[in-house]
Structure 1
Amino acid sequence: MDRLTALKVFKTAAQLESFAEAGRRLGLSPAAISKNISELEDHLKARLFNRTTRRLSLTEAGTAYFDRISPLLDGLEEADEMVGALNTSPTGVLRVTAPQSLTLHCLGRLPARLLQTYPGLSMRLDLDDGKTNIVEEGYDLAIRGSSQLEDSSLMARKLMDLPHVVCAAPTYLEACGAPGRPEDLRRHECLTYVLSDHAAEWRFSRAGESIGVAVPGRFFTNSSLAVRDAALGGLGIALLPRLYVDRDLKEDRLRIVLDDWMLPAASVYAIYPSRHHIAPKLRAILDVVAEELAARTEDKTFF
Structure 2
Amino acid sequence: MTKRLPDLEAWAIFATVAKHGSFSRAAREMGMSDPTVSKAIARLEARLGLTLIARTSRRVALTDAGRAALARASRILSEGEAVEDEAGEQSTVPRGRVRISAPLSFGIAYLGAVLPAFLQAYPEITVDFALSDRKVDLVSEGFDLALRIASLNDSSLLSRRLCTVRLLLVASPDYLDRHGMPTHPAELSRYCALAYTGGASRAWRLTHPTFGEEAIEPPVRVWTDNADLLNPALVAGQGLAIQPEFLVWRELRDGKLKVAMPEWSVTPLGLHLVMPPSPLRPLRVQALIDYLARELANAPWDGA
Pick the TM interval, shorter chain.
0.5 to 0.7
User: Are positions 1:260 and 2:233 aligned together?
Assistant: no
Runs of 5+ unmatched residues, structure 1: 1-17, 26-76
Letter in 1 for 2:243: L
User: Residue 141 of structure 1 contacts residue 270 of structure 1 at CA under 8 Å; is this kept in 2?
Assistant: yes
Residue in structure 2 matched with residue 181 of structure 1 by the alignment: 184
Residues of 2 paired with 1:288 and 1:197: CA distance?
30
Shift of 1:208: 4.8
Residues of 2 paired with 1:222 and 1:172: CA distance?
23
SS of corresponding position for 2:265: coil
Residue in structure 2 matched with residue 201 of structure 1 by the alignment: 203
User: Are positions 1:138 and 2:168 aligned together?
Assistant: no
SS of corresponding position for 1:124: strand
Counterpart selection for 2:243 from 234, 240, 245 = 240
Runs of 5+ unmatched residues, structure 2: 7-78
Shift of 1:280: 0.9
Name the stretch that deviates more: 217-226 or 88-97.
Answer: 88-97
Partner deviation per Cα, 1:18-48 (whole Å, 9 max, x = no partner):
9x87xx89xxxxxxxxxxxxxxxxxxxxxxx
Residues of 2 paired with 1:299 and 1:163: CA distance?
11
Partner deviation per Cα, 1:70-92 (whole Å, 9 max, x = no partner):
xxxxxxx9xx97x9489432211
Letter in 2 for 1:176: H
- The Cα RMSD (Å) is 2.7
Shift of 1:295: 5.5
TM-score when normalising by structure 2: 0.67
After superposition, where does 1:142-181 map in structure 2 within 5 Å?
142-146=146-150, 148-181=151-184
Query: Matched residue pairs, number?
Result: 227
User: Residue 110 of structure 1 contacts residue 288 of structure 1 at CA under 8 Å; is this kept in 2?
Assistant: no
Change in Cα spacing, 1:298 to 1:144, as seen in structure 2 (3 Å) is: closer
Residue in structure 2 matched with residue 228 of structure 1 by the alignment: 231
User: Residue 102 of structure 2 contacts residue 132 of structure 2 at CA under 8 Å; is this kept in 1?
Assistant: yes
Change in Cα spacing, 1:104 to 1:298, as seen in structure 2 (3 Å) is: closer
Shift of 1:264: 1.1
Residues of 1 paired with 2:93 and 2:117: CA distance?
14
Change in Cα spacing, 1:154 to 1:295, as seen in structure 2 (3 Å) is: closer
Residue in structure 1 matched with residue 61 of structure 2 by the alignment: none
Identity of aligned residues (%): 29
Counterpart selection for 1:269 from 260, 269, 272 = 272
Partner deviation per Cα, 1:97-119 (whole Å, 9 max, x = no partner):
11122122322233322222112
Shift of 1:182: 0.7
Counterpart selection for 1:213 from 213, 216, 219 = 216
User: Residue 232 of structure 1 contacts residue 253 of structure 1 at CA under 8 Å; is this kept in 2?
Assistant: yes
SS of corresponding position for 1:183: helix
**Which structure has the greater CA radius of gyration?**
1
SS of corresponding position for 1:135: coil
Residues of 1 paired with 2:108 and 2:182: CA distance?
31
Shift of 1:278: 1.2
Residues of 1 paired with 2:144 and 2:243: CA distance?
28
Change in Cα spacing, 1:161 to 1:296, as seen in structure 2 (3 Å) is: closer
Residues of 2 paired with 1:133 and 1:98: CA distance?
12
Residue in structure 2 matched with residue 44 of structure 1 by the alignment: none
Residue in structure 1 matched with residue 117 of structure 2 by the alignment: 113
